[in-house]
Amino acid sequence: MRQIILDTETTGLSAETGDRIIEIGCVELLNRKLTRNNFHHYVNPERDSHEDALKVHGISNEFLRDKPLFAHIADELLAYIEGAELIIHNAPFDLAFLNKELERLGKGPITEFVAGITDTLAMAKDMFPGKRNSLDALCDRLEVDNSGRTLHGALLDAELLADVYINMTRGQDALLIDAHATGTAEEGGVSLIDLRQFDLPVIQASEQECAAHDEVLKQMDKASGGKVVFRSLENSVA
């Protein structure tokens, strides 16, 4: 399973009104492991950044003057991400800029080149309702070291997001997936594996783990205004 964590920095907030990409950073996960096969480019946006954007990323207009245009790196980027799942924090923002840049070159949208797109901001909102879910907030919550992040940078943010994503999806690894499995589901082409051939251990949760789980459910219940299904089921049984 090949996944690409992608982040961009831009001259402003609106691709539709002419703001452009100034930096692209990507890191590769192969079977949930960082490969260090990164993609990183600064880009000459052919316009100046807005003052507020400069405060966020700190990349000066002068620094970008001699950097390649997006047109000069587009094919390299598309070859790098081809067939992978893209993982992006607040995906609609980055996709709007990428698609606008591709549109200027007469190319189709990014979805034509990748296997799928996962928005970690949407994931975080489902996992932590009612809480701040910026990249910095998630780093703090999931104990990912972001002490080196004084300004936004596409490659650094992609590396941090990779750690955040792995922490958010712990326990969701696809176990025993075999690329040569012959069974397929009728819908979606999902590979099926007969687990009866494996002796799978059953590990019971300890009292401490059960208590920690119960505390998480209490916090979720409080944040959602008493809408956690587990709690309502427990109450109905009681």
pLDDT per residue over 181-204, tens digit each? 444 444 444 445 555 555 666 777
Is 74 contained in some domain?
A: yes
Q: Which residues contact 30 (CB under 8 A, 6 or more apart)?
A: 1, 2, 3
Query: Is residue 210 in a domain?
Result: yes
Predicted confidence at residue 208, as pLDDT, reads: 83
Q: What is the CATH number of the domain that holds 83?
A: 3.30.420.10
| Nearest of 210, 1, 234 to residue 116 by alpha carbon | 1
Mean of the per-residue pLDDT values for the chain? Answer: 85
**Does a structural domain hold residue 76?**
yes
Final residue before a domain boundary, out of 141, 168, 195: 168
On whether both 127 and 214 belong to a single domain, the answer is no
Tens of pLDDT, residues 11-58: 999 999 999 999 999 999 999 999 999 999 999 999 999 999 999 899
Per residue in 67-102, pLDDT (tens digit) is 999 999 999 999 999 999 999 999 999 999 999 999
Containing domain of residue 120, as a range?
2-168
192 is a domain residue:
no
Please give the pLDDT value at position 21. Answer: 98
Q: Is residue 43 part of a domain?
A: yes
Q: How confident is residue 219, by pLDDT bands cut at 50, 70 and 90?
A: confident
Domain count, the chain: 2
Q: Are residues 13 and 61 in the same domain?
A: yes
Domain end (from 138, 168, 198): 168
- Structure-token pair, residue 236: 């109905």
Q: Do 18 and 129 share a domain, yes or no?
A: yes
**129 and 236 assigned to the same domain:** no
Q: Can you give the pLDDT at residue 77?
A: 98
Same domain, yes or no: 156 and 213: no
Strands of 100-174, DSSP E:
116-119
* Residues 22 and 72 placed together within one structural domain of the fold: yes
Identify whether 196 is part of a domain. no
229 and 127 co-located in one domain: no
**What is the C-alpha separation between 191 and 202, in angstroms, rounded?**
24
Identify the active-site residue in 41, 57, 89, 152: 152
**Is 118's pLDDT higher than 70?**
yes
Mark whether 38 and 154 lie in a shared domain.
Answer: yes
Question: Is 152 assigned a catalytic role?
Answer: yes
Tell me what pLDDT residue 64 has: 97
Is 187 a member of any domain? no
Is the domain of 152 the same as that of 238? no
- Within-domain flag for 179: no
- Give the pLDDT confidence score for residue 213 in this predicted structure: 80
Residues 162 and 212 in one domain: no
Query: Is 56 in the same domain as 158?
Result: yes
Q: How confident is the model at residue 159 (pLDDT cuts 50, 70, 90)?
A: very high
Q: Which residue has the higher pLDDT, 220 or 135?
A: 135
Q: Is 65 exposed, middle or buried (0-12, 13-18, 19+ CB in 10 A)?
A: exposed
* pTM greater than 0.75: no
- Domain end residue (candidates: 119, 153, 168): 168
User: Is 229 found in the same domain as 130?
Assistant: no
DSSP 225: T
Predicted confidence at residue 187, as pLDDT, reads: 42
Burial 69-108 (b: 16+ CB within 10 A, else e): ebeebbeebbebbeebbbbbbbbebbbbbbbbbbeeeeee
